[in-house]
């Protein structure tokens, strides 16, 4: 699978590190979850289900997804297909602003990072959505900092 160079450049420019990539059809293809996906689901169940748009589904009949085989059945029964990625990026801080209040730049360090799950039909769409999500997060943090420092 080849990834568009423009997307790779944007990932680099936005300091986005892709931690995990799951092709969901393959995750559930043999009726048993991959260990790597199970670890992610076990540690971040709410975030993963929200990304997969399954957070409103009743999981009680699947033992609340506490068992690997129940989680596999739940995902299979809900016909989950597409690509789930987990990405991380350093938390933006110390913004600089121009005279119009627009942020010009910021500092970021991997000592404080944030991670998110993104789900889309294809890997390319998931990566583009991660870039957009990161840009929106930076804008939101810039607004908060500007408001806090210019009251």
Give the chain's length: 151
Tell whether pTM > 0.85: yes
pLDDT of the chain, 151 residues: tens digit per residue? 688 999 999 999 999 999 999 999 999 887 788 899 999 999 999 999 999 999 999 999 999 999 999 999 999 999 999 999 999 999 998 888 988 888 888 988 899 999 999 999 999 999 999 999 999 999 998 888 888 887 7
State whether the Cα torsion 138-127-115-15 is positive or negative: negative
3-state secondary structure the chain: CCCCHHHHHHHHHCCCEEEEEEEHHHHCCCCCCCHHHHHHHHHCHHHHHHHCCCCCCCCHHHHHHCCHHHHHHHHHHCCCCCEEEEEEEEEEEEEEECCCCCEEEEEEEEEEEEEEEEEECCHHHHHHHHHHHHHHHHHHHHHHHHHHHCC
């Amino acid at each position: 699978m080849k990834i568009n160079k423009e997307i790779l450049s944007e990932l680099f420019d936005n300091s986005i590190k892709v931690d995990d990539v799951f092709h969901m059809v393959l995750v559930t293809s043999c009726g048993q979850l991959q260990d790597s996906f199970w670890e992610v689901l076990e540690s971040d169940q709410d975030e993963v289900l929200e990304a997969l748009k399954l957070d409103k589904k009743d999981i009680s009949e699947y033992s609340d997804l506490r068992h690997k085989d129940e989680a596999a059945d739940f995902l299979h029964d809900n016909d989950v297909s597409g690509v789930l990625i987990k990405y991380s990026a350093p938390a933006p801080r110390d913004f600089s602003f121009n005279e119009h209040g627009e942020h010009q730049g910021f500092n970021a360090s991997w000592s404080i990072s944030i991670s998110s799950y993104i789900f889309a039909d294809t890997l390319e769409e998931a990566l583009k959505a991660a870039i957009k999500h990161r840009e929106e997060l930076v804008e939101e943090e810039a607004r908060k900092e500007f408001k806090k420092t210019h009251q």
